[in-house]
Amino acid sequence: MTIQEIKDKGLLLFECISGSKAYGLNTPQSDTDLKGVFYLPKDMFYGLEYIPQISNETNDEVYYELGRFVELLCKNNPNILEILASPADCILYKHPLMDELHIDMFLSKLCKDTFAGYAHSQIKKARGYKKKVVNSMDKERKGVLDFCYILEGYSSVPVKEWLDKERYKQELCGLSSIAHSKGMYALFYDKEEKFSYHGIVNSLPANEVSLSSIIKGEKEIAYLSFNIEAYSMYCKEYKEYWDWVAERNDNRYQTNLSHSKNYDSKNMMHTIRLLQVAEEIIRDGTLTVKRPNRKQLLDIKSGDMKYNDLLVMADELMESIEKYTNLSSLQEKPDIVMAERILVKMREELYK
């Protein structure tokens, strides 16, 4: 089933503009995000084809099946609560039955964890972004040899440097493991090319050193250490970095580069927005989607604030949320029994 089929078959219950335009934070470059609620035909709902949600390829249009929508409302999911609290000028369609669901029925102290928890994930994402910008990685991937060292007295030298100094070829080296010494190997050299050693690495790329059969009595010329933990960590970070480069939004990346603060300013804007909304919910018992502090939030998005100052602001908001939670008259959590009763009533009307 597609979004268009939902509309063509009259299954749409609610549709609204979401995202930056709903928050009042849109700019000329902003896309239009759509969210909605639909219900499945009776045979699909009772059968084996239950579909909880449908989205388009870019995921900027997402529609939730009625049961899934109510389930997420009961969990105080921030995105879902914001759909129900959509500003009137952002609502494109509303079925009369949707009046059965009121935002006041679902707001609860759970918002402290759901909104602040989501904000915390945004901070984590922003920190990861900062790390990737500051610590960019060369496109040319390092190999096993870059993590191998030759022991020399009380120190060690990179194996590549040692090979150059001794004018040895890594392909003519042979390694033999040393019992009870993880990552340590005895190194032999086949100067006359008569033993068919496998080299330190047998092929490129390789993920481990190669071992060779060593004739008894041969004398090692050095001891080699392979830091496999550092190599594994590097491979993980290399993949994460270049996957991020491939998937990042280049316009957004250039914006972040232009303000030279080395953090994802859009994520940090949404972090502060989420925490401010959570504070208002816990303190006032209301959810205002369209933000009254547009300038402040857009200034954050533009990178006009220092990263550490934003973290201080986030910490202060979290402390405030904690304080108001202890004083709040909000329900501890939504009344699931009541929500289920209303959901059943709505389905009965829809399936008449």
User: How many residues does the structure list for the chain?
Assistant: 352
Which residues lie closer than 8 Å to 255 by C-beta, 6 or more apart? 265, 266, 302, 303
Q: What is the pLDDT of residue 117?
A: 80
Question: Average of pLDDT values for 280-295?
Answer: 95
Angle at 116 between CA 110 and CA 121, to 5 degrees: 125
* Each residue's pLDDT tens digit, 191-248: 999 999 999 998 767 789 999 999 999 999 999 999 999 999 999 988 887 877 776 6
CA distance 286 to 102: 12
Backbone torsions φ then ψ of 40, nearest 5 degrees: -80, 150
CA distance 186 to 223: 5
| Rounded alpha-carbon distances, angstroms, from residue 289 to 27, 30, 34, 86 | 17, 17, 15, 6
Give the confidence band of 256 by pLDDT, cuts at 50, 70, 90.
Answer: very low
Residue 96: pLDDT above 60? Answer: yes
Q: What is the pLDDT of residue 127?
A: 56
Give the confidence band of 29 by pLDDT, cuts at 50, 70, 90.
Answer: confident
Chain centroid offset of residue 239 CA: 15
Give the confidence band of 126 by pLDDT, cuts at 50, 70, 90.
Answer: low
**Which of these ranges, 249-263, 284-298, 301-315, 333-347, has the smallest mean pLDDT?**
249-263
* Each residue's pLDDT tens digit, 56-87: 988 899 999 999 999 999 999 999 999 999 99
Which residues lie closer than 8 Å to 224 by C-beta, 6 or more apart? 148, 149, 150, 151, 159, 175, 184, 185, 186, 187, 200, 209
Q: Residue 65's beta-bridge partner residues? A: 38
Question: Average of pLDDT values for 129-142?
Answer: 66
Domain boundaries, the chain: 1-106+334-352, 109-136+249-330, 144-228
CA distance 145 to 199: 11
Long-range contacts of 322-331 (CB under 8 A, 24+ apart): 322/112, 324/279, 324/282, 324/283, 325/109, 325/112, 325/282, 328/109, 328/282, 328/283, 328/285, 329/285, 330/107, 330/108, 330/109, 330/111, 330/281, 330/282, 330/285, 331/107, 331/108, 331/109
CA distance 97 to 83: 15
Q: What is the pLDDT of residue 120?
A: 75
Asked if residue 343 lies in contact with residue 106, where contact means CB atoms within 8 angstroms, the answer is: no
Question: Average of pLDDT values for 172-192?
Answer: 94
SS3 38: strand
Computed over every residue of the chain, the mean pLDDT equals 89
Please state which CATH class domain 1-106+334-352 belongs to: alpha beta
